[in-house]
Amino acid sequence: MKILFVAAEAAPIAKAGGMGDVVGALPKVLRQLGHDVRILLPYYGFLPDKMEIPKEPVWKGSAMFQEFSIYETLLPETDVPLYLFGHSVFNPRKIYGGEDEGWRFTFFANGAAEFAWNFWKPDIIHCHDWHTGMIPVWMHQSPDIATMFTIHNLAYQGPWRGYLETITWCPWYMQGDNALAAALQFASKVTTVSPTYAEQIKTVEYGEKLHGLLSYIQNNLLGIVNGIDTEKYNPSTDKLIAKTFTPETLDQRIVNKIALQEETGLTVNKKAFVMGMVTRLVEQKGIDLLIQILDRFFAYTDAQLVILGTGDRYYETQFWEMSYRYKGRISVQLLYNDALSRRIYAGADAFLMPSRFEPCGISQLMAMRYGCVPIVRQTGGLVDTVSFHDPVNNEGTGYLFDRYEPLDLFTCMVRAWEGFRYKEKWKELQQRGMKKDFSWYNSAAKYLKVYKEILGQAPELTEEEAETIETLKLLNQL
């Protein structure tokens, strides 16, 4: 199959959230399975700092009365062809933001359609979030090019219909009040990044005013849980952490804890219960719950907390103020730093993720991979990836709470703090999380079945494909 991924992000070169991880990892695995998978990404102004890019384009086109150029290279450390959509509107050193964001990404989507029609024709265009929402609409007139649309975050839906009609071509048959709503109706298949989230968004609470439409297309909607690049994020080989370790050598992990405390300004105390957060500081992530209970939790326990991320100025200010009051116990790092995030996963005892909603989440998978026990709310992809810790029967991988209430989060955190005192049980809990298979191979097999279904092929994996997946999984564990 020939599959073109079109997205605003692709790790490791342009990443702001979970979409970047998906687009940066899934194509690599699909190519290992023998399919011709390529990526189309905007040519952001910061990309030349991160990779070599040819000076001459391989193709030039026009869309929305604008000329654009396509540059061809490879996604770093992979054999995945990467096409960069070049235009001065993407020169600023940013991915999102600005008053022209709706115009920029609609132009990008329009250019992607022209690219597929006139330069490299795929069997399927895999579109990601509202930035590519118009592509399924335009491809509706091209029955030989199918589309899949993946929702990474339903809260962001793109430009409204009235604005789209003033800047681009909206066919007579188009339906939907905004770019994302239109994609839901015209994509050959719609996916979310976890099965639970696929069910939740059909309700008023999680549907972001599209629950009716999502219920209407429910037979065309399914959830496939995200994976992580277990080769890149591997505590036994990761050179960015102080001390590598495996499930069998967890005792060596304490070196990373002490190194994290020293790096972030926490009081060095190997017995302290260290919690970590790597997140966007926005309401979706449950930050408001945490702010309400931290004073009481710190009065009750000897815990420490390190936070890495940026977001709303209000939340940043609140945490800065708390870090001043709790010097040596709270460290706030208001920046994006992939290397530090790994050291948090490898050094913290527990990982906080009390999200109000979570389409899937990558951070809790990273945390478990590095022996950091997740404390999460029972919602979305967190339900699909973290199970209740049952020390009696030696089951589960983390701590979960249900209601979105401060007291529920407080109780869950206290349970984790108390569980940390029982070192052998805690070690077994860490090992269960580390041994879970969160590689992309399982998810890639499910995506492959959906691609085949879209193209009218038998969805079952061939014997060769199944054997290849099992072989790759075994090689990845070595």
pLDDT at 478 over 60: no
Q: Which residues touch 469 (CB under 8 Å, ≥6 apart)?
A: 33, 441, 444, 445, 461
Model pLDDT, residue 475: 64
Residue 398: alpha-carbon gap to chain centroid: 20
Confidence of residue 463 (pLDDT cuts 50, 70, 90): confident
Confidence of residue 433 (pLDDT cuts 50, 70, 90): very high
Q: What is the signed CA dihedral for 22, 24, 27, 33, rounded to 10 degrees?
A: -100
Confidence of residue 47 (pLDDT cuts 50, 70, 90): very high
Q: Which residues touch 169 (CB under 8 Å, ≥6 apart)?
A: 110, 138
Domains of the chain (ranges; CATH) run: 2-227+440-477 (3.40.50.2000), 247-434 (3.40.50.2000)
Tokens of 292: 């309400």
Long-range contacts of 49-53 (CB under 8 A, 24+ apart): 50/12, 50/13, 50/76, 51/13, 51/76, 53/84
Measured CA to CA, the distance from residue 126 to residue 26 in angstroms comes to 11
3-class secondary-structure state, position 127: strand
pLDDT at 16 over 90: no
Q: Is 306 exposed, middle or buried (0-12, 13-18, 19+ CB in 10 A)?
A: buried
Phi and psi angles of residue 354, each rounded to the nearest 5 degrees, phi first: -85, 50
Percent of the chain's residues with pLDDT above 90: 88
Tokens of 11: 């790790």
Tokens of 84: 């960069």
Which comes out higher in pLDDT, residue 18 or 246?
A: 246
Q: In what order do the strands lie in the sheet with 399-401?
A: 330-333, 304-308, 274-278, 350-353, 373-377, 399-401
Q: Are 145 and 125 in contact (CB under 8 A)?
A: yes
pLDDT at 133 over 70: yes
Measured CA to CA, the distance from residue 193 to residue 365 in angstroms comes to 13
When pLDDT is averaged across residues 126-144 and rounded to a whole number, the result is 96
pLDDT digits (tens, 9 = 90+) for 194-228: 999 999 999 999 999 999 999 999 999 999 999 99
Model pLDDT, residue 273: 98
Question: Which residue shows structure tokens 């199918």?
Answer: 146
Measured CA to CA, the distance from residue 437 to residue 462 in angstroms comes to 22
pLDDT at 8 over 70: yes
Model pLDDT, residue 51: 95
Model pLDDT, residue 194: 94
pLDDT digits (tens, 9 = 90+) for 224-235: 999 998 888 999
Tokens of 94: 């940013």
Measured CA to CA, the distance from residue 154 to residue 355 in angstroms comes to 15
Model pLDDT, residue 476: 66
Measured CA to CA, the distance from residue 275 to residue 429 in angstroms comes to 16
Measured CA to CA, the distance from residue 52 to residue 477 in angstroms comes to 31
Tokens of 291: 């702010």
When pLDDT is averaged across residues 111-137 and rounded to a whole number, the result is 98
3-class secondary-structure state, position 32: helix
pLDDT digits (tens, 9 = 90+) for 289-344: 999 999 999 999 999 999 999 999 999 999 999 999 999 999 999 998 989 999 99
Confidence of residue 477 (pLDDT cuts 50, 70, 90): low
User: Peptide bond preceding 12: is omega within 30 degrees of 0, i.e. cis?
Assistant: yes
CA atoms within 13 A of residue 56's CA, in its CB half-sphere: 1
Q: Chain-wide mean pLDDT for the chain?
A: 94
